[in-house]
Amino acid sequence: MDYFAGIDVGALSTDAVILTAGSEVAAYSIVETGANSTDAAEEALAGVLAEAEIVRSQIKRIVATGYGRVSVPFADKRVTEISCHALGAYHLFPDTGTVIDIGGQDSKVIQVGEGGKVLNFTMNDKCAAGTGRFLEVMANKLQVALDEMGELSLRAGREVPISSVCTVFAESEVVSLVAQNHPTEEIIRGLHRSIVNRVWNMVKAVGVNGGVAMTGGVAKNRGVVALMEEKLGQSVHLHEEPQVVGALGAALLAWRASQSAG
């Protein structure tokens, strides 16, 4: 049987998805990108092959995406993460009209149309505010694990407003708040609010249409998701591993290309 793969080389993680000839997800893998994107892509592919219990020669076509897509020498095609997240989210949740992707080094809001086509998009690619990197820096400062932040913020009774959008200024603000003995969870909730507000400006620019899907690593943070849902006034679609949605979109493009090639 033929299989199709998508590999998303992101700033923090590299994700791979394998689809069957019937476009069903056979397996996925997530590895840290580390210092070498090509090695990370190889590792993610090896991982997903093992998971799917198939060998490389069974993969008919590979599409690479993410900022490191150019560093995947074995890819047949390279497509931007914007198109891939749109398609991946649409495939999982067909009523998706808007995708909010908050990744490690940038965030994007994508308007999605029929068939998962991108109709419009906006990207925050100039600074770390409103990205996973912002949370990583703050987790470090607060000495909490990144993946605990969501739970902690949900437990907070109140939130401490963070006035700085800039990561560097917010970091010093956090230091002062800690020194003033504000509870960690309240500070975290304030930080989450700051990310959501930042991304919200992008959401407003693109507009909300139909269902909203959140993708990217930050969508694993339940605290950020809850605040975004509050802002949207509707619940969002989430995959169990939101950062693989881009790789899924890439795999779907690999699959589609083989369909159209007959």
Partner 1 sequence: MTQFYGPSRKRYIRQQKQTHGRHPFGVFPAHYPREILWAMNVLPVEIWDPPLEVSHANAHLQPYICSVVKLGLELILQGQCDDLDGFLFPHTCDSIQNLASIVYDYLDIKKPCYFFYHPKAPYRSSSRQYYLEQLQTLASRLEKQLGPLDLSELKQRVQQGERLAYVLRELYTLRARGELCASNTEFYRVIRQGEYLHPDDFLPILEGFLADRKGQADRLCPIILSGILPNPQEILHLLDNLEARVAEDDLLNCSRRLLQPPVAREDPFEALAENYFAMPPCTTKDSPLMERVGFLLQKAAHTDARGVIFCMVKFCEPEFFDLPQMVEELKEKGLASLVVDSELNQGLSGQLATRVEAFLEMIR
DSSP 182-226: --HHHHHHHHHHHHHHHHHHHHHHH---SEEEEESGGGG-HHHHH
Kindly state whether residue 80 participates in binding partner 1, applying the rule CB under 8 A.
Answer: yes
Which residue, 119 or 146, has its beta carbon nearer to partner 1?
Answer: 119
For partner 1, which residue of 49, 63, 118, 162 counts as binding (CB under 8 A)? 118
For partner 1, which residue of 54, 64, 82, 250 counts as binding (CB under 8 A)? 82
For partner 1, which residue of 15, 42, 81, 241 counts as binding (CB under 8 A)? 81
In the complex, what is the shortest distance from the CB of residue 49 to partner 1, in angstroms, rounded to a whole number?
A: 28
**Cα dihedral 155→157→161→167 (10° resolution):** -10
Between residue 53 and residue 72, which ones bind partner 1 under the rule CB under 8 A? 67
Query: Interface with partner 1 by CB under 8 A: which range of 51-59, 80-88, 90-98, 234-242?
Result: 80-88
Kindly state whether residue 40 participates in binding partner 1, applying the rule CB under 8 A.
Answer: no
Kindly state whether residue 207 participates in binding partner 1, applying the rule CB under 8 A.
Answer: no
Sign (positive/negative) of CA torsion 252, 253, 255, 260?
A: positive
DSSP 134-194: HHHHHHHHHT--GGGHHHHHHH-SS-------SHHHHHHHHHHHHHTT--HHHHHHHHHHH
**Residue 68: how many CA atoms within 13 Å on its side-chain side?**
29
Give the residues across from 41 on adjacent strands: none
Kindly state whether residue 119 participates in binding partner 1, applying the rule CB under 8 A.
Answer: yes
Beta strand 107-112 with 59-65 is: unpaired
Q: Measure the CA–CA gap between 139 and 129, rounded to whole angstroms.
A: 14
Query: Interface with partner 1 by CB under 8 A: which range of 120-128, 138-146, 214-222, 244-252?
Result: 120-128
For partner 1, which residue of 106, 136, 159, 186 counts as binding (CB under 8 A)? 106
Which residue, 79 or 138, has its beta carbon nearer to partner 1?
Answer: 79
Residues that bind partner 1 (CB under 8 A): 67, 79-83, 106, 117-121, 123, 125-126
